[in-house]
Amino acid sequence: MPICPDGSLGPCVPRSAADIWSNWVRMAQVDEFDLGTRYLASVHLITTTVMAVGYGDLFPANTLERLFCIVVQLVGAVCFGFILSCITAVLETSNPREVEHKKRMAEIKDWLHGRDLPASLRHRVWAHFIYLTSQRSAFKEENSMLLSLPSHVRNQLVERSHEQYVKAMQ
């Protein structure tokens, strides 16, 4: 199947000289509009091109329709942005431990950059807090939670939680 000069597939139909020079300005007779309506038609074409899959099959016929299309497309883009940000927020907050870890590490990073410390010391402090926050529970009141358990259950829980470190020290 041949590819025509206009990019279409199929048998190429010879076009007249008028067809070669036709574009959206001439097809919509935008060049006959006043200056404000020309700008509005241009903004409509831009928003349609940027915010839609395709264009050309349905198009506004007057200034009021163009304005309506522009507003609807902009509202649609804003709604799409809100939906994406909500999904991102849900995914980011789905793990409370990770959220707390990121928040704490950002605070530590800000604190370290606010001090005039040697790079090696900053790296050691940073490494320590990475280790410390990776071992900390997401529960802020972990001690009170542990103290509310019966002593034999609490001891088993603590032994099991720190089993790898006890084995490493033996």
Average pLDDT over residues 24-42: 79
Same structural domain for residues 84 and 97? no
| CA dihedral sign, ordered 24, 26, 31, 32 | negative
pLDDT of residue 1: 46
Instruction: Encode 90-104: b = buried (16+ Cβ within 10 Å), e = exposed.
Output: eeeeeeeeeebbeee
Cα separation, 151 vs 92, in Å, equals 36
Residue ending a domain, among 53, 73, 90, is: 90
Rounded to two decimals, the pTM is 0.43
Cα separation, 1 vs 10, in Å, equals 6
Q: Which 3 state secondary structure label does DSSP give 81? A: helix
Banded pLDDT at 84 (limits 50, 70, 90): very high
Cα separation, 49 vs 39, in Å, equals 15
Same structural domain for residues 84 and 100? no
Cα separation, 106 vs 94, in Å, equals 19
pLDDT of residue 82: 95
161 compared with 25, residue with greater pLDDT: 161
Say which residue the tokens 């034999």 belong to.
152
Which residue range(s) make up the domain with 151? 92-169
Number of separate domains in the chain: 2
Banded pLDDT at 86 (limits 50, 70, 90): very high
Cα separation, 68 vs 64, in Å, equals 6
Q: Which 3 state secondary structure label does DSSP give 18? A: helix
- Whether residue 1 is contained in a domain is answered as no
Same structural domain for residues 36 and 102? no
Average pLDDT over residues 101-119: 82
